[in-house]
Amino acid sequence: MSMTTSAADVVPQLGLQARFRRFRDKTLIAVGPNAMELSDSAAFILACVDGERSVAGIGALLAEEYGIDVDEAVTDALDLIGQLAECKVLDLPSA
């Protein structure tokens, strides 16, 4: 997913088949037989996905949490959300 104004306005939602949990201070996410461990920042982004916040809103929260530039945070959030959508962890409405 490329960085565009419309992409930053997308509101991601947790995929219906996705399952995630905290285990031994790690965030694990699974879709079907595939599972992956998320970094702390990726877990933070996933926790911000509530079906109401846009990618830009999630990026702003990420910037505040980690003390980084908002544009950089939105780009990072957009990249991760795009990857999670490809893995069917997140659903993205058509822009």
pLDDT tens figures, 26-82: 999 999 888 899 999 999 999 999 999 999 999 999 999 999 999 999 999 999 999
List b or e across 54-76, with b for residues whose CB sees 16 or more CB atoms inside 10 angstroms: bbbbbbbbbbeeeeeeeeebbeb
Q: Which fold has domain 5-90?
A: Arc Repressor Mutant, subunit A (1.10.10)
pLDDT greater than 90 at residue 11: yes
pLDDT computed for residue 1 by the predictor: 42
- In the DSSP assignment, the letter for residue 3 is -
pLDDT greater than 70 at residue 3: no
| C-beta atoms surrounding 27 within 10 Å | 18
CA-based torsion, 94, 35, 78, 67: positive or negative:
positive
**pTM recorded for the entire structure:** 0.85
